[in-house]
Amino acid sequence: MILALIVIAIISYLLGSLNFGIIISKSLNKDDVRSHGSGNAGSTNMLRNFGKKYAVMTIIGDMLKVAVAILIAYLVVKYIGHTSLSKGSSAQILGVDAKMFTKSFAGLFCVIGHIFPCFFSFKGGKGVATAGGMVFMIDWKIAIILLAIFIITVAVTKYVSLGSIIMAVLYPVLIFVFYKSLPLTVISAVFTIIVVVAHRDNIKKLINHTESKIGSKK
């Protein structure tokens, strides 16, 4: 199983490194989104600098890659880890339901790849869309709750970054509430720490009231 986890980590990281904000801006606009606005390669900066169409394309690409990473991880667990993930299976990995662990593990490394992409000098996005895709694959109910909180937060405050941070912080809380699993909560907490650290500049700006609001060109 250790070999399977290593393979999953590498494949998921490499897929995560396919940062679609950078790929789309370079291929379709002959420009790098990171050279504009916030310098971030995420959908918010794409929206501010290249418009809704490219922002939507970025979101779709960044969400789909984590779905692909998880599907590949299932195959790796089955054929290299020799563990069944079929419906009704009681298999566990490190004391955690094998399906949930596989989704969380692959999703985590995909998010890491998105934030620190090896194909783009380790400077990517902040992992929000990719993390969203991961959560939908793990539990759609938790995803809907977090999405609702995100929409309400952004609608009230106009800060996309604040909505993203709140979602990240609440994710391990909801995982614990729904599954009562300490290992899963720990994995989720690691994800939260990574996403919050990626938003450290946004946190400073929020504190100083200098963060750009949605619709702003800054």
Reported as a single tens digit per residue, the pLDDT across 113-147 is: 999 999 998 988 888 889 999 999 999 999 999 99
The residue with greater pLDDT, 81 or 66, is: 66
Mean pLDDT in residue range 28-37 = 85
β-strands 92-93, 96-97: how paired?
antiparallel
Question: What pLDDT, in 10s, does the model give residues 33-72?
Answer: 888 877 788 888 888 888 889 889 999 999 999 999 999 9
Q: How far apart are the first and last CA of the chain?
A: 47
Report the distance separating Cα 171 and Cα 121, nearest Å: 29
Mean pLDDT in residue range 77-81 = 84
Tell me the percentage of the chain whose pLDDT exceeds 70.
96
CA distances to 27, 44, 48, 79, 183 from 96, rounded to whole Å, are 41, 35, 41, 19, 7
Task: Of 168, 162, 158, give the one whose Cα is nearest residue 127.
Answer: 168
Question: What pLDDT, in 10s, does the model give residues 143-173?
Answer: 999 999 999 999 999 998 899 999 999 999 9
